[in-house]
Amino acid sequence: MTAKVKRASIKGVAIRSAVADLRRLIDADAVPASVAFDLLTDFERLLLKRGVDDEAWYPMGCYDRINRVLLEHDGGGAPDYFQKRGRAVAERVIAAGAFKQVDFVRRIEPGAAVEQVVLNLRVAGTLWMGMFNTGTWRVLSSADFAAIAGEAGDSIGVEITDAEDFSDMAVQAVLGFIKRLAEETAGSEVEVGVQRPAAGTLRFRFRWLEPAPG
């Protein structure tokens, strides 16, 4: 018997803003409907007409095709477009109070910023599991980086495995998302780099542009 392959999917709540933004652009004639529809499947055209169900699952391909149209007609092909969209998602998550427990830790231990970032990223990992049915999220300590890549230092980061289905657009959105969360917690600007050491592995590494907090 052949094992059934799980289709990589994204939750409606995570694709809703992309669908709404494209619908808005079409309604404002900023994107010709004929052009957008030529690039989308019948199913995606239906999403634009009816909207999405926040609790339903949608193929990752839908996310990518809608975002390609947005990149060309809303982002002007800018390389940082999807990072900005990822940051916007993080802003909404922060505003919704998903990281209140992190704020509590910050009040108790105001100098432990690195530990707070780690906690924040772990909370983000639980959100991740609710938005994607593929990819396994793990927070990496400096010791983990030393063991994985033989790199010493104070870096922390995130590793996502089973990530073969994540396009470059999705990777950049994730980068913007976790960068904004790290900055919110640490209270300083953070540089985040991403590597793909294997097709199914994404590794995000944090470097503070000011002296490392904590």
Q: What is the domain-level CATH number for residue 107?
A: 3.30.1380
Whether residues 100 and 72 share a domain: the answer is no
Query: Given pLDDT bands bounded at 50, 70 and 90, which one contains residue 64?
Result: very high
pLDDT tens by residue, 188-197:
777 888 999 9
Vertex 66: Cα angle to 62 and 72 (nearest 5): 150
Domains in the chain, number: 2
Whether residues 71 and 104 share a domain: the answer is no
Is residue 2 included in any domain, yes or no?
A: no
Domain boundary among 77, 102, 119: 77
Whether residues 192 and 95 share a domain: the answer is yes
What are the C-alpha distances in Å from 80 to residues 39, 83, 134, 151? 22, 5, 24, 27
Is residue 214 included in any domain, yes or no?
A: no
Amino acid letter for position 22: L
Is residue 4 included in any domain, yes or no?
A: no
Between 210 and 54, whose confidence is greater?
Answer: 54
Query: Given pLDDT bands bounded at 50, 70 and 90, which one contains residue 23?
Result: very high
Is residue 98 included in any domain, yes or no?
A: yes
> What contacts 104, CB < 8 A, 6 or more positions away?
none
Whether residues 16 and 105 share a domain: the answer is no
Q: Rounded distance, CA 76 to CA 51, Å?
A: 24
Whether residues 139 and 154 share a domain: the answer is yes
Domain extent at residue 142: 82-208
Q: Look at 8-17, 110-119, 124-133, 137-146 and tell me which has the smallest mean pLDDT.
A: 110-119
Q: Rounded distance, CA 87 to CA 36, Å?
A: 25
Number of helices followed by number of strands (H, E) in the chain: 9, 6
Q: Given this model, what pLDDT does residue 181 score?
A: 80
Average pLDDT, the chain: 81
Residue among 108, 106, 138 nearest 122 (CA): 138
pLDDT tens by residue, 126-183:
777 778 888 888 888 878 877 876 666 667 888 999 999 999 999 999 899 888 887 8
